[in-house]
Amino acid sequence: MGADLHKALGQGERRRPRKTLRVSWRAIGSFAGVSVVLGLSLFSTLTPLPLHDSTPNLPSSRASGPDATGEIPEQPPIGAGLTATRPAAGADVERTVTDNGTVVTKYSPKARGNSGPLLIDTPRIGQDPRMAGTPNELLLEDSPQGRLPTVGPDGLRPIDQYARPWSGARGTRIAIVVGGLGLSQTGTQRAIRELPGEITLAFAATGNSLQRWMQEARRDGHEILLQVPLEPFDYPSNDPGPGTLLTTAGADTNMANLHEAMASITNYTGIMNYMGGKFLADANALEPVMRDISKRGLLFFDDGSSARSLSGQMAKAMGMPQAFADVQIDGQLDQQAILRRLDELERIALRKGSATGAGSAFDETIDAVRKWSEEASRRGIEIVAISALAENPQP
């Protein structure tokens, strides 16, 4: 009693009842179910899935269902290596029975007949830059005057082969042609190296080292034209040079001179007049020349120096590619004056959607065109080659 004397009456220690763990059958069933699910999941994870159906003899919806033709495919007989082939719409179906009885199905494209869809192969527009200075041999033909441009056996034209590609966007576009290359070595070299590749360069047929300059210009990305000398109104006081096409000469003589000029260079997309106000206004003299240019797959670019020119009318009548300059940019040989003419060219392009300018390879022209083209590009104007703006009835 010693320790209990100090406790209040009725406050003795109570014995705590011993807890009994009760497990219901429901809990046991739930635990067993979870264990089975986890076990099956683990088994399916660790066991690789079969790559094919190992029971080919059992009927199934996939094996006995209709194929793409609406027919029920035939099953090959059981036997290693045996193969059954049956065509389906658009494909050949081949089923092979392996050693263990597994059916392996192989689908391969069926040969397209003449009634199938047509694949249209269009010619490539523009030349690979790596080969820009090399002519396409299929677009050249031999003549007494030399090798002349011609349409290829597959219909490919020089205007297509040697055109400089452009973006294809239908924004404001301007083409500028700088001519007279080949007449001055320093002027030619400066024009090729300082003008942007988008500027079209025209080589005078009476120039020097044309093939060498052509290759350098093409490698730098320029599209090029060939300038052919034509008779001006004040001829012979104003003489374009040897080989000039004359209104008083016969068609045979003019054609021989034209072909001699054409053979002086390769890789050009078209012909441009060098002077020629009188010749361009004479229908009898101009018609055979334009027809020959047309059949060779070339464009004709008129520099716009003569208001009496018939080139545009004839080109439309013949269905040949042609372009006409809207502005002569260097009638006044001063850089500021040329810049003002280029601004006028831009205003025309903003109003019409496109415009074309023509000039010569003077130092003032080269400086003005280089400066203006850089600023115009920042204003959203796309500078394109002349072929991109030519009226082309046979794209």
User: Over the stretch 31-49, which tens digit does the pLDDT of each residue have?
Assistant: 666 565 566 555 555 555 4
DSSP assignment string, 256-297: HHHHHHHTT--S-SEEEEEE-HHHHT-HHHHHHHHHHHHHTT
CATH classification at residue 158: 3.20.20.370
Q: How many residues does the chain have?
A: 395
Residue 68 half-sphere exposure toward CB, CA atoms < 13 A? 9
Asked if residue 140 and residue 276 are part of one domain, the reply reads yes
Asked if residue 86 and residue 215 are part of one domain, the reply reads no
Q: What is the percent of the chain where pLDDT is above 90?
A: 65
Asked if residue 273 and residue 182 are part of one domain, the reply reads yes
Distance CA 301, CA 389 (A): 10
Count of domains forming the chain? 2
Is residue 36 assigned to a domain?
no
Asked if residue 296 and residue 200 are part of one domain, the reply reads yes
What is the pTM for the complete model shown? Answer: 0.69
Asked if residue 253 and residue 104 are part of one domain, the reply reads no
Asked if residue 328 and residue 216 are part of one domain, the reply reads yes
Asked if residue 274 and residue 212 are part of one domain, the reply reads yes
pLDDT of residue 38: 63
Is residue 65 assigned to a domain?
no
Is residue 211 assigned to a domain?
yes
Asked if residue 336 and residue 272 are part of one domain, the reply reads yes
Is residue 217 assigned to a domain?
yes
Asked if residue 279 and residue 178 are part of one domain, the reply reads yes
Distance CA 292, CA 378 (A): 41
Rounded (5°) CA angle 121-126-301: 120
Asked if residue 278 and residue 385 are part of one domain, the reply reads yes
Is residue 63 assigned to a domain?
no
Is residue 257 assigned to a domain?
yes
Is residue 227 assigned to a domain?
yes
Asked if residue 82 and residue 224 are part of one domain, the reply reads no
| Structural domain for 101, as ranges | 73-109
CB atoms within 10 A of CB 48: 5
Is residue 201 assigned to a domain?
yes
User: Mind listing the pLDDT tens digit of every residue in the chain (395 residues)?
Assistant: 444 444 444 444 445 445 444 555 565 666 666 565 566 555 555 555 444 444 444 444 444 444 544 444 555 554 445 555 555 455 667 777 777 777 777 766 666 555 554 444 444 456 677 788 899 999 999 999 999 999 999 999 999 999 999 999 889 999 999 999 999 999 999 999 999 999 999 999 999 999 999 999 999 999 999 999 999 999 999 999 999 999 999 999 999 999 999 999 999 999 999 999 999 999 999 999 999 999 999 999 999 999 999 999 999 999 999 999 999 999 999 999 999 999 999 999 999 999 999 999 999 999 999 999 999 999 999 999 999 999 998 65
Asked if residue 135 and residue 97 are part of one domain, the reply reads no
